[in-house]
Amino acid sequence: MATAMIDLRQLGAVKAPVGFAERVLASAGVTDSYALFDTVLGPVYVAWNRLGVSAAMRAPSALQFEEWFGRDVGRQLVRVDPPADLAAKIEDQLAGKRRLQFDLRGLTPFSQAVLRKTLEIRRGEVRPYGWIAREIGHPAAVRAVGTALANNPIPYFIPCHRVVRSDGVIGNYGGGGPEAKKQILNLEGVQLARLQKLAQSGFRYEGIKSTKIFCFPTCYHGRHAREENFVFFHDEAEARAKGYRPCKDCRPAVA
C-alpha cells in the first residue's frame, strides 16, 4: 500500500484568514476589539473585550482613538464591524437602561469605586462630586473624585457628565469640555437653566412642601411637583431647621 506523503512546505504556505490572529488575541483578552457606532451623541468609537466595554471616545479618527487607547489603556486594538447586539445595548444604555458591562482593569480601586457609584446616577439627574466622595466612604476626597472622573476611560456610558460641582455649577468634563457636558445633559432632559439659576442663588437643595422631604435639584421625586410646591435651602442645616428630612433616594445628606 502506498503511503501518502505530505509536503510540509505546502502546509507552511497556507495562510490564516485575515484578522484571525487578532481575533484569537481578542478572545484571550490580550487585545480589544473596537468599532465606530452611530449614537444619539454622534459617532462614538467604542472598545470592548470579553469582560465588557473598555473605552469610548468621540475621536476625529480611528488612528487617534487607537493611539489614545494604546497610551492610556495599554493594550492593542483590532477594528471589527459593529456587532448588532452591542449596538442595541449601547443605544439602550444611552437611553437610561443599564445593559452594558464594563472592564475597569488598570484603574485603582478608588477610581473603580468612583465610576461604579457614578453608574447609579439616573438619566436626567445630577449629583455633586462631594456626594460620590461621601457615598464611597471618602468624604474628604472630593478633589480625587474629580480627578478619577476626568480620567474616566468610558465617558457617556459611565455618566461622569452627571456629576457637577457642589455649588450646582456644571463644571468641566473630560468627554469634551463644559459645552459637551451641557449638550448631553440637555439631551437627557436636565433643566440646565433652572439648575444654574439655583446655583447662582446659592441654593443647594429643594424641598417639597407636601412631603417635607428635601432633595438635590433634578431628583426624580420632584419631577412632577408644581413649582409652587417647592421650597429651596442653602444647606442641610436650614432644611432640617424647617422640619424637612433628606430624601432616601438621592441622599442629599446622611439620614
Q: How many residues in total does the chain contain?
A: 255
User: pLDDT tens digits, residue range 169-211?
Assistant: 888 787 778 888 999 999 999 999 999 999 999 999 999 999 9
Domains and CATH numbers, the chain: 22-94 (3.30.160), 109-196 (1.10.10.10), 203-246 (no CATH)
pLDDT number for residue 169: 81
pTM: 0.85
pLDDT number for residue 227: 87
pLDDT number for residue 172: 79
pLDDT number for residue 8: 46
pLDDT number for residue 168: 78
d(CA 36, CA 53): 13
The cell numbers describing 119, all together, are 453608574
HEC profile of the chain: CCCCCCCHHHHHCCCCCCCHHHHHHHHCCCEEEEEEEEECCEEEEEEEECCEEEEEECCCCHHHHHHHHHHHCCCEEEECCCCHHHHHHHHHHHCCCCCCCECCCCCCHHHHHHHHHHCCCCCCCCEEHHHHHHHCCCCCCHHHHHHHHHCCCCCCCCCHHHEECCCCCCCCCCCCCHHHHHHHHHHCCCCHHHHHHHHHCCCCEEEECCCCEEECCCCHHHCCCCHHHEEEECCHHHHHHCCCEECCCCCCCCC
Residue 69 burial (CB < 10 Å; 0-12/13-18/19+)?
buried
Ranges of residues in the chain whose predicted pLDDT is under 50: 1-2, 8
User: pLDDT tens digits, residue range 114-129?
Assistant: 999 999 999 999 999 9
